[in-house]
Structure 1
Amino acid sequence: MHERELQFELEKLKLEKGAKENPVPSPVKSEFDAAKNIRLVPKFKEKSVDKYFPHFEKIAANLKWPRDFWPTLLQSVLIGKAAEVYSALSIAESSDYDKVKDTILRAYQLVPEAYRQKFRK
């Protein structure tokens, strides 16, 4: 009986030693974590909305953020009229970056026609 206990302990130690030498790799998390990247989103300034979107897109592309997450990251910094416009969008529209961008630019009247009018004045 005592010999069996010793063999059991010996086997147990061998297994523990093997586990320490060859640990099971933890699964790699391949999903994008928006929460960790929110702090990297540039601040939204209502006075320079026309310059904001190219700046945001450049950062998002350089950091290789999945385009599906762009609206989520963007909405975290929206203020004023842009936040109101975003909240008025439907769920489907608010998950489409291009739709969000166009709607916000229209709210600030920063569409090509507005630039033409400014230029003519």
Structure 2
Amino acid sequence: MSELDLYAKYLDLGVKLGRSGEDLATWVEDKVRQDMERNDRQIERERKREEMEMQNQREEKEREMQRHREEMEMQRQREEREMQNQREERELKRLELEAKTKKLELGSRASADVAGPKPSYGVQRPKIPPLNDPSQVDLYLERFERHATAFGWPESEWASCLSNLLQDEALSIFLSLSPAEGSDYQAVQRVLLQRFGCDRNGFRSKFLSVKPRAAEDFGTFINRAR
């Protein structure tokens, strides 16, 4: 309602209430002013409410964009890890083939000279990268054991060989073991698996929290969960 309409409304009402002259004019002015102030307050509340809604919308959009960026980064990291795993698997197969070939050569030499010296760890030592991701220590130890078996290392030397490939927290854990435990590969393996959540309890927890990855089909998810 416009200000002119308010004057007309309250003028008519004031006359009906028996007001006249200056009293009527003062009363009408007060009523119109009160209505206009109420209207201004209502407009201000509406304006603030709209600003708040717009601010909430902007913040929600920013949060959504941030979530999208984080998901993209996680996807990129997963793809990089998968590519790295594939490269390491190819390298492992190559080393295993080399080891088998060398074992055949050594077998031929041994048949010719049984008393001849056996190849040592130092001669046969393959190039294995250090443990960089402790969360995958189970896969790393399996890879290490394949190398050790393929190259014929005596298990009594496994713990010593493995210690040269540990770093940071994993190395600190190894150094905290007693000399007897530190020379026992099975003891070292057990402690590392337990510390980095790759034992029975750790895998149970991971299994219960596993979720499908982006663009991952159901069959791939089931195999990864298994």
TM-score (normalizing by structure 2): 0.38
Q: For 1:73-88, list aligned pairs within 5 A.
A: 73-88=161-176
- Name the structure 1 match of 2:121: 34
Q: Considering only CA atoms, is the larger Rg found in Structure 1 or Structure 2?
A: 2
Aligned residues: 94
- Name the structure 2 match of 1:20: none
Q: CA deviation at 1:103?
A: 0.6
CA contact (8 A) 1:93 1:100 kept: yes
Q: CA deviation at 1:41?
A: 3.9
**1:43 matched to 2:130:** yes
* Equivalent of 1:61 in 146, 149, 167: 149
Return the alpha-carbon distance in structure 1 between the equivalents of residues 122 and 150 of structure 2.
18
Counterpart code for 2:168: G
Counterpart code for 1:117: S
- Name the structure 2 match of 1:102: 190
Q: CA deviation at 1:42?
A: 4.5
Q: Is there any run of 5+ residues in structure 1 with no aligned partner, and where?
A: 1-26
Q: CA deviation at 1:53?
A: 0.9
Which one has more relative contact order, counting CA pairs under 8 Å at least 6 apart? 1
- Looking at secondary structure, tell me which structure has more helix per residue: 2
Summarize deviations over 1:47-70 as a string: whole Å, max 9, x none: 421211111111111111111110
Q: CA deviation at 1:113?
A: 0.9
Return the alpha-carbon distance in structure 1 between the equivalents of residues 136 and 206 of structure 2.
15
Structure 1 outlier segments of 4+, above 4 Å: none
